[in-house]
Amino acid sequence: MIPAGVSIEEIFLLAAALFVVLAIVMFYRAVAGPTTQDRLLAVNVLGTNTVVILALLAAGLDEPWFLDIALIYALLNFLMAVAISKFTVERGGVL
Amino acid sequence: MSAIAYTLVVFILLAALATALFRDVLSAIVVFGAYSLGMAILYTFLLAPDVAMTEAAIGAGVTTILLLLTIARTSRPPTDRLFERIHLPAVVAVGAFVLVLFTLLGDMYAVGDSDAPVWGWEALETTPSVYYVQETFADTGAQNAVSAVLASYRGFDTFGEAVVVFAAGVAVLLVLKREVFT
């Protein structure tokens, strides 16, 4: 399946590069909006995208500790969505 | 490999610009989350795991909640415009400052450059890194060279940092408590 002369690590790095380019595309929605909820969802998708990029870099560069940072993001990604949802529903209540 | 880093820098610059220019504060806070995501990947890419973890924990969690608490206690003016009007004198002042910083960029050593002063000047008998490895125990009595640098050689700096972190913690506690009891 893999073309000759290309290692699996290079394919992982290429995929990571593509996902970084996609992050810029996703960022269009974060700027264009039009509502705050659109921006929030865009940043949420960006967070998931970050986890994917970090995991691909961990595989591509053979640095397993990148996965620790990916795990932290996977765990904390929902926090902003929850906080801003609470803020929008009951204005003033954040925690 | 560096292509990934450069694309990341473009993304971070876009996110920083959007954060600075958004008229609506809530949108700016959300977009600031995207900026923090990009920075965390860049730190990881530059092999600084401790900084990346701090950015992940603080950027994704703490900053958003603290900024939200702040705008919950202040007013958020309704706007019809998407972006802030650009203040020209401020742009000129910041641009000049950035230009000055750019002139310093040429004097920086590349990462891992063997000519960098960390590895020793001609005038010194020994290099700083070798000095710390060899003389730390005699100087301070500490067995761990990294702890000795943090707590002894630059002890006052670490003390100042601890004061700053303590003050920030007290301020956060104050804000959170007020939030809970109202």
pLDDT at A68: 85
CATH number at residue B25: 1.20.120.1200
Same domain, B9 and B91: yes
| Inter-chain CB proximity A27 and B68 less than 8 Å | no
Same domain, B103 and B124: no
| Inter-chain CB proximity A72 and B57 less than 8 Å | yes
Q: Which of B2, B30, B47 to mutate to test the interface with A (most CBs of A within 10 A)?
A: B30
pLDDT at B175 over 80: no
CA distances (Å), A45 to each of A21, A24, A35, A49, A64, in order? 14, 12, 16, 6, 23
pLDDT at B99: 93
Give yes or no for a contact between A20 and B10, defined as CB atoms under 8 angstroms apart.
no
Same domain, B72 and B116: no
Q: What is the DSSP letter of B86?
A: P
| Inter-chain CB proximity B40 and A30 less than 8 Å | no
Same domain, B103 and B23: yes
Same domain, B82 and B141: no
pLDDT at A59: 87
Range of lowest pLDDT (A2-16, B39-53, B121-135):
B121-135
| Inter-chain CB proximity B33 and A80 less than 8 Å | yes
Average pLDDT over residues A30-57: 86
Give yes or no for a contact between A47 and A95, defined as CB atoms under 8 angstroms apart.
no
Nearest-angstrom CA–CA distance, A39 and B81 = 16
Same domain, B71 and B132: no
- Domain closes at, from B49, B84, B108: B108
Is the sign of the CA dihedral B47, B50, B54, B60 positive or negative? Answer: positive
Same domain, B143 and B100: no
b/e sequence B110-149, b meaning 16+ C-beta within 10 Å: eeeeeeeeeebeeeeeeeeeeebeeebeeebebeebeebb
The Cα of A4 is separated from the nearest Cα of chain B by a number of Å equal to: 20
Candidate from B24, B49, B64 with C-beta closest to A79: B64
What is the total count of domains within chain B? 2
The Cα of B12 is separated from the nearest Cα of chain A by a number of Å equal to: 9
Domain span including residue B101: 1-108
Find the farthest-apart pair of alpha carbons in chain A and give their distance in angstroms, rounded.
59
Omega prior to A34 cis, within 30 of 0:
yes
b/e sequence B36-54, b meaning 16+ C-beta within 10 Å: bbbbbbbbbbeeeeeebbe
CA distances (Å), B150 to each of B140, B142, B147, B176, in order? 12, 11, 5, 31
Same domain, B4 and B91: yes
Nearest-angstrom CA–CA distance, B29 and B35 = 10
Nearest-angstrom CA–CA distance, B133 and A59 = 34
Model ipTM?
0.83
Catalogue the E-assigned strands of A33-93: none
Which chain A residues are closer than 8 Å to B68 by Cβ?
A: 83-84, 87, 94
Residues of B at the A interface, defined by Cβ within 8 angstroms? 1, 3-4, 7-8, 10-11, 14-15, 18, 24, 26-27, 29-31, 33-34, 37-38, 40-41, 44-45, 47, 49, 52-53, 56-57, 60-61, 64-65, 68-69, 72-73, 82, 176, 179-180
Same domain, B12 and B94: yes
CA distances (Å), B177 to each of B8, B89, B130, in order? 38, 40, 49
Q: What is the pTM of this model?
A: 0.75
- Domain closes at, from B86, B108, B130: B108
Same domain, B80 and B117: no
Same domain, B22 and B93: yes
Which chain A residues are closer than 8 Å to B2 by Cβ?
A: none
Q: State pLDDT tens for residues B111-140.
A: 767 777 766 666 666 777 777 878 888 888
Same domain, B121 and B101: no
b/e sequence A2-41, b meaning 16+ C-beta within 10 Å: eeeeeeeeeebbebbbebbeebbebbeebbebeebeebbb
- Domain closes at, from B108, B139, B161: B108
pLDDT at A89: 81
